[in-house]
Amino acid sequence: MLTLEHVYLLEYQDVPSEGSGLSDPITRRRPIPKSSIPNFSRPDTVIRQAIMVRKGKENPSYIILDVPRYGRRPTPTETTGMMPCSFIPTQFVSMNDLARVWDKVALTEHERVVNEALRYIAPDFEGLVFVESDEPHYVAPGRREFQRVAKVRMADSPRPISLNSLGDGMLRVLQLILHVFQARGGLLLIDEFENGLHYSVFRRIFGLLYSSWRSN
Protein backbone atom coordinates (compact mmCIF):
# COMPACT_ATOMS: atom_id res chain seq x y z
CA MET A 1 0.00 0.00 0.00
CA LEU A 2 1.23 3.47 -0.89
CA THR A 3 0.53 6.26 1.58
CA LEU A 4 1.16 10.01 1.32
CA GLU A 5 1.14 12.36 4.29
CA HIS A 6 1.95 16.04 4.72
CA VAL A 7 4.63 16.43 7.41
CA TYR A 8 7.00 18.97 8.91
CA LEU A 9 10.72 18.20 8.95
CA LEU A 10 13.26 19.60 11.37
CA GLU A 11 16.42 20.37 9.39
CA TYR A 12 19.65 20.91 11.28
CA GLN A 13 23.41 20.68 10.83
CA ASP A 14 25.19 17.78 12.49
CA VAL A 15 28.87 18.51 13.14
CA PRO A 16 31.01 15.38 12.57
CA SER A 17 32.84 14.04 15.59
CA GLU A 18 36.62 14.02 15.76
CA GLY A 19 38.16 11.02 14.11
CA SER A 20 35.22 10.48 11.74
CA GLY A 21 37.25 11.64 8.75
CA LEU A 22 34.57 14.18 7.84
CA SER A 23 35.05 17.93 7.99
CA ASP A 24 31.83 19.49 6.67
CA PRO A 25 28.58 19.50 8.67
CA ILE A 26 25.97 16.96 7.59
CA THR A 27 22.38 18.09 6.96
CA ARG A 28 19.93 15.97 8.97
CA ARG A 29 16.14 15.91 8.78
CA ARG A 30 13.53 14.28 10.97
CA PRO A 31 9.72 14.61 11.10
CA ILE A 32 8.18 16.54 13.99
CA PRO A 33 4.54 17.26 14.93
CA LYS A 34 3.21 20.68 13.99
CA SER A 35 2.51 21.46 17.64
CA SER A 36 6.20 21.27 18.51
CA ILE A 37 7.39 23.76 15.85
CA PRO A 38 7.59 26.68 18.36
CA ASN A 39 10.12 24.64 20.36
CA PHE A 40 12.60 24.74 17.48
CA SER A 41 13.17 28.43 16.90
CA ARG A 42 16.96 28.33 17.10
CA PRO A 43 18.86 30.06 14.25
CA ASP A 44 20.69 26.82 13.38
CA THR A 45 17.47 24.94 12.56
CA VAL A 46 14.95 25.19 9.73
CA ILE A 47 11.42 23.78 9.52
CA ARG A 48 10.60 22.33 6.10
CA GLN A 49 7.28 21.15 4.71
CA ALA A 50 7.28 17.84 2.89
CA ILE A 51 5.18 14.95 1.64
CA MET A 52 6.10 11.67 3.31
CA VAL A 53 5.78 8.77 0.88
CA ARG A 54 5.75 5.24 2.23
CA LYS A 55 5.37 2.01 0.28
CA GLY A 56 4.39 -0.87 2.53
CA LYS A 57 6.85 -1.20 5.38
CA GLU A 58 9.79 0.37 3.53
CA ASN A 59 11.59 3.40 4.93
CA PRO A 60 9.74 6.55 3.87
CA SER A 61 10.84 9.03 1.22
CA TYR A 62 10.32 12.76 1.65
CA ILE A 63 9.46 15.18 -1.15
CA ILE A 64 10.57 18.62 0.00
CA LEU A 65 7.87 21.16 -0.84
CA ASP A 66 9.52 24.40 0.19
CA VAL A 67 12.97 25.88 0.53
CA PRO A 68 12.55 28.84 2.90
CA ARG A 69 16.12 30.14 2.95
CA TYR A 70 16.53 33.44 1.11
CA GLY A 71 13.26 33.04 -0.73
CA ARG A 72 14.30 30.26 -3.10
CA ARG A 73 11.58 28.55 -5.08
CA PRO A 74 10.51 24.95 -4.42
CA THR A 75 13.04 22.52 -5.83
CA PRO A 76 11.49 19.30 -7.18
CA THR A 77 14.85 17.53 -7.11
CA GLU A 78 15.07 17.75 -3.34
CA THR A 79 13.84 14.32 -2.36
CA THR A 80 15.21 11.91 0.18
CA GLY A 81 14.69 8.21 0.80
CA MET A 82 14.83 5.02 -1.25
CA MET A 83 11.72 5.36 -3.42
CA PRO A 84 12.23 7.46 -6.59
CA CYS A 85 10.07 10.57 -6.28
CA SER A 86 9.67 13.86 -8.07
CA PHE A 87 7.39 16.85 -7.53
CA ILE A 88 6.68 19.42 -10.24
CA PRO A 89 5.02 22.61 -8.92
CA THR A 90 2.82 24.97 -10.90
CA GLN A 91 5.43 27.73 -10.90
CA PHE A 92 8.65 27.49 -12.86
CA VAL A 93 11.68 26.30 -10.94
CA SER A 94 14.99 28.12 -11.29
CA MET A 95 17.17 27.63 -14.35
CA ASN A 96 20.03 26.48 -12.12
CA ASP A 97 17.86 23.64 -10.81
CA LEU A 98 16.86 22.63 -14.33
CA ALA A 99 20.50 22.79 -15.40
CA ARG A 100 21.53 20.41 -12.62
CA VAL A 101 19.00 17.85 -13.82
CA TRP A 102 20.03 18.41 -17.44
CA ASP A 103 23.65 17.63 -16.58
CA LYS A 104 22.54 14.12 -15.62
CA VAL A 105 20.55 13.68 -18.84
CA ALA A 106 22.86 15.22 -21.46
CA LEU A 107 24.52 12.78 -23.89
CA THR A 108 22.30 9.90 -22.74
CA GLU A 109 19.29 8.24 -24.34
CA HIS A 110 17.11 10.53 -22.22
CA GLU A 111 18.36 13.57 -24.10
CA ARG A 112 16.62 12.22 -27.21
CA VAL A 113 13.35 12.08 -25.27
CA VAL A 114 13.80 15.67 -24.07
CA ASN A 115 14.39 16.84 -27.64
CA GLU A 116 11.33 14.94 -28.85
CA ALA A 117 9.16 16.60 -26.21
CA LEU A 118 10.39 20.09 -27.07
CA ARG A 119 9.64 19.51 -30.76
CA TYR A 120 5.99 18.98 -29.82
CA ILE A 121 5.93 22.70 -28.96
CA ALA A 122 8.47 24.01 -31.51
CA PRO A 123 8.88 21.70 -34.54
CA ASP A 124 11.98 23.63 -35.69
CA PHE A 125 13.83 22.91 -32.42
CA GLU A 126 17.21 21.21 -32.95
CA GLY A 127 19.19 21.25 -29.71
CA LEU A 128 19.52 22.53 -26.13
CA VAL A 129 22.43 23.62 -23.95
CA PHE A 130 22.78 25.35 -20.60
CA VAL A 131 25.40 28.10 -20.40
CA GLU A 132 26.58 30.37 -17.62
CA SER A 133 25.09 33.84 -17.55
CA ASP A 134 27.32 36.91 -17.40
CA GLU A 135 25.24 38.33 -14.55
CA PRO A 136 25.78 36.91 -11.01
CA HIS A 137 22.78 35.89 -8.93
CA TYR A 138 22.77 36.62 -5.20
CA VAL A 139 21.53 33.59 -3.27
CA ALA A 140 22.34 34.99 0.20
CA PRO A 141 23.74 38.19 1.70
CA GLY A 142 27.35 38.36 0.58
CA ARG A 143 27.09 35.10 -1.38
CA ARG A 144 26.48 34.85 -5.09
CA GLU A 145 26.50 32.27 -7.82
CA PHE A 146 26.32 32.57 -11.58
CA GLN A 147 22.96 31.77 -13.07
CA ARG A 148 22.84 29.23 -15.88
CA VAL A 149 20.50 29.93 -18.76
CA ALA A 150 19.01 27.66 -21.43
CA LYS A 151 19.91 28.26 -25.06
CA VAL A 152 18.30 26.47 -28.00
CA ARG A 153 19.20 26.03 -31.64
CA MET A 154 16.38 26.48 -34.13
CA ALA A 155 16.46 25.39 -37.76
CA ASP A 156 15.68 28.91 -39.00
CA SER A 157 18.17 30.76 -36.77
CA PRO A 158 21.94 31.04 -37.41
CA ARG A 159 22.66 31.56 -33.68
CA PRO A 160 21.38 30.01 -30.47
CA ILE A 161 18.50 31.88 -28.85
CA SER A 162 17.15 31.98 -25.32
CA LEU A 163 14.65 29.25 -24.42
CA ASN A 164 12.59 31.90 -22.61
CA SER A 165 11.99 33.69 -25.91
CA LEU A 166 9.94 30.72 -27.16
CA GLY A 167 7.16 31.06 -24.59
CA ASP A 168 6.07 29.36 -21.39
CA GLY A 169 5.09 26.15 -23.15
CA MET A 170 8.71 25.23 -23.96
CA LEU A 171 9.85 25.90 -20.40
CA ARG A 172 6.94 23.94 -18.92
CA VAL A 173 7.60 20.91 -21.14
CA LEU A 174 11.31 21.01 -20.31
CA GLN A 175 10.50 21.12 -16.59
CA LEU A 176 8.09 18.19 -16.93
CA ILE A 177 10.24 15.90 -19.03
CA LEU A 178 13.48 16.51 -17.11
CA HIS A 179 12.02 15.68 -13.73
CA VAL A 180 10.14 12.58 -14.83
CA PHE A 181 13.45 10.74 -15.10
CA GLN A 182 14.04 11.14 -11.38
CA ALA A 183 10.72 9.44 -10.64
CA ARG A 184 11.04 6.42 -12.94
CA GLY A 185 9.34 3.44 -11.37
CA GLY A 186 8.33 5.53 -8.36
CA LEU A 187 6.04 8.48 -7.68
CA LEU A 188 5.59 11.53 -9.88
CA LEU A 189 3.44 14.41 -8.58
CA ILE A 190 2.47 17.14 -11.05
CA ASP A 191 0.59 20.18 -9.80
CA GLU A 192 -1.70 21.36 -12.62
CA PHE A 193 -0.30 19.35 -15.52
CA GLU A 194 -2.06 21.56 -18.06
CA ASN A 195 -0.44 24.77 -16.78
CA GLY A 196 1.28 26.60 -19.66
CA LEU A 197 0.38 23.95 -22.25
CA HIS A 198 -2.03 24.13 -25.16
CA TYR A 199 -4.70 21.44 -25.02
CA SER A 200 -3.64 20.12 -28.45
CA VAL A 201 -0.39 18.68 -27.02
CA PHE A 202 -1.83 17.16 -23.82
CA ARG A 203 -2.13 13.61 -25.18
CA ARG A 204 1.37 13.49 -26.70
CA ILE A 205 3.13 15.07 -23.71
CA PHE A 206 1.32 12.86 -21.21
CA GLY A 207 2.08 9.77 -23.28
CA LEU A 208 5.76 10.66 -23.42
CA LEU A 209 5.85 11.30 -19.67
CA TYR A 210 4.23 7.95 -18.97
CA SER A 211 6.55 5.98 -21.26
CA SER A 212 9.59 7.75 -19.75
CA TRP A 213 8.36 7.02 -16.22
CA ARG A 214 8.04 3.31 -17.02
CA SER A 215 11.43 2.97 -18.77
CA ASN A 216 14.52 1.68 -16.95
> Which pLDDT score, from 0 to 100, does residue 76 have?
43
> Which pLDDT score, from 0 to 100, does residue 69 have?
44
> Which pLDDT score, from 0 to 100, does residue 119 have?
93
List, for the chain, all residue ranges whose pLDDT scores fall below the cut of 70: 19-23, 44, 66-82, 135-145, 215-216
42, 44, 49, 54: CA torsion to nearest 10: -110
> Which pLDDT score, from 0 to 100, does residue 151 have?
93
CA distance 31 to 101: 27
